[in-house]
Amino acid sequence: MTASLYLGCTGWSLPREHWPAFAGEGTHLQRYASRFNAVEINSSFYRPHQPKTYERWAQSVPASFRFSVKMPKRITHELRLQRCETALDEFLEQCLQLGEKLGCLLVQLPPSLSYDPVAASIFFTALRQRFSGAVVLEPRHATWRDAESLLLDLHIGRVSADPPVIEMGAGWPGVHYLRLHGSPRIYYSAYGPERVKAFAQGLNLSVMAGVPTWCIFDNTASGHATADALCLLDLHSHHFQT
């Protein structure tokens, strides 16, 4: 029943002090992928990437490596999930070049976007017509707690974020996705070994239950994500070796 833990950071830049823990040669992504088996591409939120860029990234990492790709703000923040089929097609035409290494799509919504059942149903149905892989949603308006049935019907997982912004249901249970933004200072604070150990316990239970499980450290502003992710990697590896 054991599933995979997809562990990594938002982006693959490595602080210089952690370089010795990774392969000494190759591109930044190749060196990053010498230890971690997943990454969350956040740059796709801000700007499109050429299909050939995604293809090159896919070819440069091991077969077991997986990418999570954040949906463009053009779709989530500007069009606000409405009348965005063309933008959705353009995005998927690009990122689907990752092939089997496209592990997940991340849909993060602006705090101002409340739950509109009709608009949400149209959008996620359109997405599902185009993409059958893992999709997770990180809403930040409390009304999205009413979206539980929609998420279950369309197999949309819900991001568990730290620090949490809103309280809502678990979403589709077929994928678990933990985004660790850093606390108390978001994007900056390190978690440290004790808090990482607490996260590891829950993640290991999810993996042992057979659920594909993601853990992405987003506390990159001061470079702490790499250290926290390496700590979790060591804990997880030790747990499944003993």
Helix (H) / strand (E) element for 232: namely helix 224-241
Question: What CATH number did the domain enclosing 105 receive?
Answer: 3.20.20.410
Q: Structurally, how many domains does the chain consist of?
A: 1
Interval 72-101 mean pLDDT: 98
pLDDT digits (tens, 9 = 90+) for 173-200: 999 999 999 999 999 999 999 999 999 9
Average pLDDT, the chain: 95
Q: Is 102 helix (H, G, I), strand (E, B) or coil?
A: strand
pLDDT of residue 241: 59
| Global confidence as pTM | 0.96
pLDDT digits (tens, 9 = 90+) for 135-182: 999 999 999 999 999 999 999 999 999 999 888 778 999 999 999 999
The distance from CA 86 to its chain's CA centroid, rounded to whole angstroms, is 23
CA-CA distance, 219 to 43, in Å (whole number)? Answer: 15
Which domain covers residue 184, as residue numbers?
5-241
Interval 65-84 mean pLDDT: 98
Residue 242 predicted with pLDDT over 70: no
The count of residues in the chain is 242
Q: Inter-axis angle of helices 51-59 and 85-95, to 10 degrees?
A: 30
Q: How confident is the model at residue 80 (pLDDT cuts 50, 70, 90)?
A: very high
CA geometry: angle 206, 207, 212, nearest 5 deg: 95
- How many other C-beta atoms lie within 10 A of the C-beta of residue 77? 16
pLDDT of residue 237: 82
pLDDT digits (tens, 9 = 90+) for 3-17: 899 999 999 999 999
Residue 61 predicted with pLDDT over 60: yes
